[in-house]
Structure 1
Amino acid sequence: MENKTDILAKFFYEIGNLKKVLRAHQQTLLTVDPTDNIASHSFRTAFIGYFLAKELTADADKVLKMCLLHDIEEVRSGDMNWVNKKYAKVYGDEIRDDQLEGLPHSQEFLQLSKEYTERQSKEAKIAKDADLLEQVFLLKEYAQQGNKEAEHWLHEDGADECQQIKLMNFDFTKEIAKKAMEMKPSDWWENIWTPKNR
């Protein structure tokens, strides 16, 4: 029988492979970007989820954990874009249960995984909004680099809201998404750079 350290070490190796799982939308965005993987997506999604939860007076710890969990099954199933999902069924809940079940202290994560999938709680809805908002930021980054497909996704024939925004649950999330679409991805460093060495 495996002990705790064996089980945890294997799990940590498994989730480490999320950085090797490229996001499937690259196919429909006609791009190849090795930095656009499930690990990088989950990392930014977790930060987004935390701050959304704080702003929307929800349990930020719970949202943060849901965001970290929300795509871990893709290390076993791969990512599916919106075309793939029309034809293929992924048993994400079953995979996450298998991944988490033998882990020490896993009950909390199993419950959070179920809650996220059901999307009934405020925290689950915020975590999903974070997932969608991260996609908006990524699309804007690609569009800024000249990716016409990303630009099309963002503006869908001149529409004011892209599909990701339409799917969001909270007005605050939608406001951030719209602000992100107005900005340049490089605006974050505009007033902090200097030509002087320290």
Structure 2
Amino acid sequence: MKEIVNFLFEVGMLQKTPRTGFQFLGSGCESVAEHILRTIFIGYTLCKLEQDIDERRVLKMCLFHDLPEARTGDMNYVNKKYVTVDEGKAVRELTDTLFFGEEIKACIDEFNEGKTRESLIVRDADQLALILQLKEYGDLGNKYSREWITFAIQRLCTDSARETANQILETDSSDWWFQDKSDWWINGNKGKYSKGADSAR
């Protein structure tokens, strides 16, 4: 049981591990745990756009694909020019003490090999999470985000992901909450409460 508790403490390190590429972008920040969360939702969504996909495998890969970064840290594209990370060792030492460790290792290996349709969807979810983040920062004025998005789009593997990326580029990141530009943004709940107060008299 102690090994399981140690694993759960280790997972917590993902909340404290920053995604390091944003230091080069010049704005934004995100932990590895935050990235994984959005990747899971994107992977789930991409499964709905594809046919004959093992959704459970996709979600598990999304969950575990960056787990080794609890030990290795996040290596951005500049870091990778100069630093070689022994992810295999990190995965082995992370999973060897867990009775379900082989299941986690198999997910990470499948993702890294990128040969199955499920692994390609997870790779796309990983990139779409970045594209969404970059679009948000671009909408707030970061002039470099569009160029970064151009490279990220070229890494996409499936038509569904490319179609999603194109829609991301055409959608303002505030549309989902600010598309109703009614007098709600002026009055808020005032009308609701004043009406209730009047009827109570």
Give the TM interval when normalised to the shorter protein. 0.7 to 0.9
Aligned match of 1:56 = 50
**SS of residue paired to 1:102:** coil
Structure-2 residue corresponding to 1:189: 177
C-alpha spacing 1:19/1:192, structure 2 compared with 1 (3 Å):
farther
Partner residue of 2:7 out of 2, 5, 11: 11
Distance 1:32 1:120 in 2: 32
TM-score by length of structure 1 reads: 0.87
Paired position in structure 2 for 1:115: 110
| Whole-angstrom distance in 1 between the partners of 2:180 and 2:37 | 24
Contact kept? 2:65, 2:107, Cα under 8 Å: no
Matched, 1:41 2:35: yes
Corresponding residue for residue 70 of structure 1: 65
Q: Deviation of residue 114 (structure 1)?
A: 1.3
Map 1:138-177; keep pairs closer than 5 Å: 138-154=133-149, 162-177=150-165
**Contact 1:93/1:114, CA 8 A, preserved across alignment:** no
d(CA) in 1 for partners of 2:93, 2:39: 23
Bigger-Rg structure (1/2): 2
CA contact (8 A) 2:28 2:137 kept: no
Q: Given the superposition, is the C-alpha separation of residues 67 and 196 from structure 1 closer, same or farther in structure 2, using an over 3 Å criterion?
A: same
2:79 to 59, 81, 84: 84
Structure 2: gaps spanning 5 or more residues: 193-201
User: Can you give the 5+ residue segments of structure 1 that lack an aligned partner in the other structure?
Assistant: 155-161
Q: For the aligned residues, what is the CA RMSD?
A: 1.7
Deviations 1:76-105 (A, max 9, x none): 111111111111111223212221221132
Q: Could you tell me which of 24, 39, 50 is aligned with 1:28?
A: 24
Question: What's the secondary structure of 1:23's corresponding residue?
Answer: coil
CA distance in 1, matches of 2:73, 2:122: 20
Q: Tell me which amino acid in the other structure corresponds to 1:82.
A: Y
- Which of 122, 129, 137 is the aligned partner of 2:132? 137
* Aligned-pair identity (%): 36
3-state DSSP of counterpart to 1:148: coil
The Cα of 1:192 is off from its aligned counterpart by 6.5
Deviates more, 1:118-127 or 1:85-94: 85-94
Q: Is the 8 A contact 1:93 1:113 kept in 2?
A: no
Aligned-partner residue type, residue 183 of structure 1 = T
Q: Is the 8 A contact 2:64 2:108 kept in 1?
A: yes
